[in-house]
Amino acid sequence: MRCPAFLSPANNCASRRAFVLRLLLCAAAGALNVLAFEPFGLYPLPLLTLGVLVACLRGETRARRAFALGFAWGWTDFVVGVGWLGIALHRFGGMWLPFTALAVSLLCAWLALFPALASAVFVRLQGNQLSGARAALLFGSCWALGEWLRGTLFTGFPWLAIGYSQATGHGALDGWFALIGAYGVGALVAALAAACVHLRARFAALAIAAVCAAGLAAGKVEWTQPDGAPLEVSLLQPNVEQSLKWDPDLFFEWLDRFIELAYQHPARLIVLPESALPVFEDQLTDSIRNRLRMSALGQTLLVGVFLRNEQQHAFNSAITYGEGEGQRYGKHHLVPFGEYSPPLFGWFYQLIHIPMSDQTPAPARQAPIRVDTHRIALNICYENLFGHEIARNALDAGILLNLSNLSWYGSDSLAQAQHLQIGRARALETARPYLSGSNDGMTAALDPHGRTLAALAPATMGALTLPVQATTGETPYLRLRDWPALATALVLLILCPGTARLRRLFRRGNAA
């Protein structure tokens, strides 16, 4: 490629070619990053994928170019990692395929703004003057604050936060979750990736070894203790086809399936997943309610169903039948564009046809569900992405229970495994057993160390019945949540470039 005359000097052309190459390299690294998460589980991979981004930023002095590099990394990361969102829009929402591709691309572009912003701030603050540990700590801080913003602004979308890739139930960083949570773990991973670029190999290896050793030591600490006798739980996976679920002519066929499963798999607590009954609870007849009570066999049946108040506001909820009847939980953190329309986006619902898409958030603080002496903190589907909210409700409970219906995204997509891995992070943060009850997967039980106790195969009908040991006690994260990690990142954001400037001033003073 010849460099146009008006772009003299001649090396401008080579510089542009090099920048395009760096863009492509960042895009490739971002696309590869999905392999760090379940179901692939290559959790050391972010040291390489983020390391590529840091290497491309090294020596860059222009924040605009750094922004573009971070955007290229982030856009491909999200397109590959959460492209399954298009299944709900196209297959079940009826959106025309080109519009679906455009909508998913635009959403991924929005999400990519945050790694782009983190990259631009990193370059702007380091001024090409930082190196070594300070550069690594600064990048980790920028990355953590960027991910926190992504998980907070406009209700947040923290899916694929780097920290979640380290929630394995057997990894060296598992122990860090109880101390600093997913954002803090993400900051550690980003800082170590930058250390691989900015430190000599032996020092980077020492930093990785030290962080892993501390994580392993923290993982051996028993933050909580068993609380009472185990609770026998049966998680029913009815495997109702999503395209048929909302057909009113098939309602009683699904009801019969639920009741048969409950009869076949009795337990002290029987759980049906999110929106198992795709109607408002006040539309159920007394006969249907009696059948649900009888299916519990004198125990407690928890069912996902929709509730509405006198103002006809809809709530994605769960309610108990049988013993302890009438306890309820309502979803507080709704999915934008799926369960409610953000301001100025009402036109979006003219392009799709998703049932129950106009919902109202329930209160943030809700009492746990009680079964005997056990207290169970519920959350519904998307809510398990928000660790600080889960921790707030887990303080009063000994078991975490997530009800979900990931059938919207297909039983063969990455969504199911990614969602369960996020639940693994919640178990590690709170040192509570975590139960996942889903329509077609992943129905699973995790212990307080994030290890899988049992799981059902996706896209199958069945039940997972097992004793669950509740725990009591507090992890540091359960009490302090994300504040220590975020405050540390903010302080480092100020100190790392600040100390470099002071050193330069000191050297100039000595030279004078």
**Residues annotated catalytic, as ranges:** 274, 331, 381
Half-sphere CA count of 363, side-chain side, radius 13 A = 7
**Cα dihedral 6→12→14→15 (10° resolution):** -140
Neighbours of 400 (CB within 10 A): 27
Tell which residue, 89, 91, 92, 121, has the closest CA to residue 105.
Answer: 89
Q: Is the peptide bond before 442 cis (omega within 30 degrees of 0)?
A: yes
The answer to whether residues 215 and 163 touch, using CB atoms and an 8 Å cutoff, is no
Element holding 99 (H helix, E strand):
helix 97-126
Task: Give the type of residue at 16.
Answer: R
Burial label for 345, CB within 10 Å (0-12, 13-18, 19+), is exposed
Q: What is the largest CA-CA distance in the chain?
A: 92
Whether omega for the bond prior to residue 9 falls within 30 degrees of 0, making it cis, is yes
Identify the three-state secondary structure at position 328.
strand
Phi/psi at 451 (nearest 5 deg)?
-85, 145
Tokens matching residue 247: 């057909």
Q: Quote the DSSP letter at residue 502.
A: H
Using CA atoms, how far residue 141 sits from 78, 471, 497, in Å, is 21, 33, 12
Q: Which amino acid is at 244?
A: L
Q: Give the separation between CA 474 and CA 225, rounded to whole angstroms.
A: 9
> What type of residue sits at position 464?
L
Distances (CA, A) of 495 to 155, 287, 478, 505: 30, 67, 28, 15
Whether 383 and 1 have beta carbons less than 8 Å apart is answered as no
